[in-house]
Amino acid sequence: MVHGELPYATTATSRRPVRQPTGERIAANASLTWHRRDPCRPPIAFAPTLREDRAMRTSPRRLVIATIALVLLGFGAATQSPQSKWRLVWSDEFAGATLDYSTWGVAFHALGGGNNELQFYTDRAKNVRVADGNLVLEACDDDFNGMGTIRKYSSASIRSKHRGDWKYGRFEIRARMPAGKGLWPAIWMLPTDDVYGGWARSGEIDIVEYKGDDPDHVIGTLHYGDAWPKNVHSGDGYTLPKKTFTDDFHVFALEWEKGVMRWYIDGNLYQTQSKWHSSKAAHPAPFDQRFHLIMNLAVGGRWPGNPDATTKFPARMLVDWVRVYQR
């Protein structure tokens, strides 16, 4: 895990945190970086590559304000909570020619996230880029060799840590999912500061997870309680009527307020949670601290299973925009 501002590594055998120098690019076979986790296992920590660390130090955090807020509708009824109005505080419309590194950090590792995943996350344009007004996270079957470590598949994972960190808000992501067995896109959040300790004492918020061979169904989940393996999780799923999440873009939204979270698909509320707990502090801990966004396209692993002969590569997860609102 990442504790405070210091990156940590976890070995594949011990999972013990090992301090790494900030800003040093970690070799692919070094046991470090952040990523998705099995519901029963902690996520692996992340150390910034030189490219990401430089962006953190020299680029301002991107706060998108008034001009975009006006263009973006003053928040229409389909995306607005019935309780109150929200104001836009941060966004990425992916309207430029390249990914904005003042907004996103890009992972570079082959660790599998503790889930037996098969991909090597890279920062190549082949795997992560902006094109035609969308963020493209692309999984390829290309036997990628990263500093001596070879993985059959390559893909991408990005995060907003130290560029976009929030305590409470409404988070909206308009995205289109790929189809195919073994594909595992996710849009989720981890604590920026780990105030209550390692995973899952400080919590995890899964806005949406999806399996490529179950294309009309998504899930939203919270992880909390005690440290792994004594952690617990709770959540629910949503099945899209008639169509699938690969047919078109859909808006995945989370409203996170003090003591309550609500999940929406295309403006439709499908679950509310308020009964989580923490082994370290009273409710609403651990979900009363800053969290940041992560978006990734994993390949294989315990939950989705591995690709088979029917899975088509390259496979793309497309993101039209990300918008964060607060009261």
CATH number of the domain that residue 303 is part of: 2.60.120.200
pLDDT at 194 over 70: yes
Burial profile 238-273: b = 16 or more Cβ within 10 angstroms, e = fewer = bebeeeebbeebbbbbbbbbeeebbbbbeeeeebeb
Q: Which residues of 282-314 are buried (b: 16+ CB within 10 A; e: fewer)?
A: eebbbbbbebbbbbbbbbbbbbbebbeeebebb
Note the pLDDT of residue 114.
77
Number of domains in the chain: 1
Q: Is the pLDDT of residue 28 over 50?
A: no
For residue 145, being part of any structural domain is answered with yes
Asked if the model's pLDDT at residue 1 lies above 70, the reply is no
Tell me what pLDDT residue 84 has: 65
Residue 277, class by beta-carbon neighbours within 10 Å (0-12 exposed, 13-18 middle, 19+ buried)?
A: middle
pLDDT digits (tens, 9 = 90+) for 80-96: 444 468 999 999 999 99
Which of 320, 22, 28 is CA-nearest to residue 147? 28
Residues 6+ apart with CB under 8 A from 100: 62, 92
pLDDT at 239 over 60: yes
Residue 174 lies in a domain: yes
User: Of 93, 204, 255, 257, which one is the catalytic site residue?
Assistant: 204
For the segment 161-170, the average pLDDT, to the nearest whole number, is: 98
Instruction: Please determine, for residue 204, whether its predicted confidence score (pLDDT) is greater than 70.
Output: yes
Is residue 53 in a domain? no
Asked if residue 250 lies in contact with residue 174, where contact means CB atoms within 8 angstroms, the answer is: yes
204: in domain: yes
Which one of 5, 209, 255, 257 is the catalytic residue?
Answer: 209
Return the top range by mean pLDDT from 36-40, 115-119, 179-183, 239-243. Answer: 179-183
5 tagged catalytic:
no
The better pLDDT of the pair 228, 71 is held by 228
Which pLDDT score, from 0 to 100, does residue 112 have?
86
- 55 lies in some domain: no
* 171 found inside a domain: yes
Range of the domain at 88: 61-326
Q: Is the model's pLDDT at 105 over the cut of 50? A: yes
- How confident is the model at residue 144, as a pLDDT? 97
Of 228 and 64, the structure prediction assigns the larger pLDDT to 228
Report the pLDDT value the prediction gives residue 306, as an integer from 0 to 100: 97
Average pLDDT over residues 108-112: 93
3-state secondary structure of 165: strand
Residue 216 · residue 245 · CB < 8 Å: yes
Arithmetic mean of pLDDT, 297-310: 96
> Residue 77's pLDDT band (boundaries 50, 70, 90)?
very low
Residue 130 lies in a domain: yes
Instruction: Say whether pTM exceeds 0.85.
Output: no
Mean pLDDT over residues 214-241, rounded?
Answer: 96
327 close to 84: Cβ distance less than 8 angstroms = yes
Q: What is the mean pLDDT of residues 232-246?
A: 96
Q: Note the pLDDT of residue 110.
A: 95
Examine the residue annotation and report whether 209 is marked as an active-site residue of this protein: yes
Lowest mean pLDDT among 32-41, 112-121, 235-244, 283-292: 32-41
Span 25-45, mean pLDDT? 39
Nearest to 75 by CA among 245, 267, 256, 207: 267
Q: Is residue 134 part of a domain?
A: yes
